[in-house]
Structure 1
């Protein structure tokens, strides 16, 4: 089992060294250095997290909260630094999702074999 952890740590290092992660890191630093953009980013992220927490707890999200999130998204989409950051976050998320699918393939095949 320890070999799997070693490989996982190697994967972590590969992700950190990847172009996708390095570009994301640079985009985040660009946003961080721009005070107004960073403030918008943190406010947007906070609203997203609050709505996500409500969803996870099964709580209702008010129309006002939805409207606030949409307004913040609209503002964020007008800021090219935030647009670049969001695109790079999405690319990194896709990479992580693909890696997860690859890692889970043996279990999926095993479980599928029980139903065949």
Structure 2
């Protein structure tokens, strides 16, 4: 009997939410949100990221001013231990999700590899 893929996906969603890396991310995020200075700096960092991504997606070249502003914000973020902890927790969760994605995509990869070798 074939499993319902949506049911499996919801099980995976629950497993990720219960995983220690996600729990660590939640705690780190709450710590940043509870600290007014860290919260403001983190929001500034996120806005800068989104603005730069939007420019790049629209094919715009980043200016020297863009790069300088980004470097300044990144330097401030790196000096804030709460934000640094949050970013490290996010990175650990991203690695986990990347690993899960590789596992999920393996059948497709195998399929294409079989036909590429023919």
* TM-score, length basis structure 2: 0.95
Partner of 2:90: 89
Partner of 1:64: 65
- The CA deviation at 1:2 is 6.4
Q: CA RMSD for the aligned pairs? A: 1.1
Q: Within 5 A, what are the aligned runs for 1:21-60? A: 21-60=22-61
- Residue correspondences, number: 116
Structure 1 outlier segments of 4+, above 6 Å: none
Structure 2 spans left out of the alignment, 5+ residues: none
Structure 1 spans left out of the alignment, 5+ residues: none
Partner of 1:19: 20
SS of 1:82's equivalent in the other structure is helix
User: Partners in 2 of 1:104 and 1:52 — Cα distance?
Assistant: 26
